[in-house]
Amino acid sequence: MAEPRYPLLVALPGGRVQHAARLIGDGPAVNTLCRKRGTPTGDGAGMPYCRVCADRPNPINQQHSLKEQP
């Protein structure tokens, strides 16, 4: 099953909302669905979800892995 391209839920420093995000390279920095960047301070549990992230569709990852055939 395909996964969203922004699978993480994070809070950014000084932020008051939770964002959908993905790692930049090997991390720890992230890009958010609403186009912010930063190093997350946590998962943002208990914070409201970012309205801009909510208004953008979270694209489905189009990459897939081919399993080796026996």
**DSSP of 13-27:** TT-SSBEEEEESTTS
As a whole number of angstroms, the distance between CA 51 and CA 68 comes to: 42
Beta pairing, strands 37-38 & 30-32? antiparallel
Is the pLDDT confidence value at 5 over 80? yes
Domain that holds residue 15: 8-55
Structural domain tally of the chain? 1
Give a yes or no: residue 69 inside a domain: no
Instruction: Note the pTM of the prediction, 2 decimals.
Output: 0.82
Give a yes or no: residue 34 inside a domain: yes
As a whole number of angstroms, the distance between CA 51 and CA 17 comes to: 9
Share of the chain above pLDDT 70, in %: 86
Give a yes or no: residue 70 inside a domain: no
Is the pLDDT confidence value at 65 over 70? no
What is the model's pLDDT at position 21?
97
Give a yes or no: residue 23 inside a domain: yes
Per-residue pLDDT tens over the stretch 11-44: 999 999 999 999 999 989 999 999 999 999 999 9
As a whole number of angstroms, the distance between CA 53 and CA 20 comes to: 7
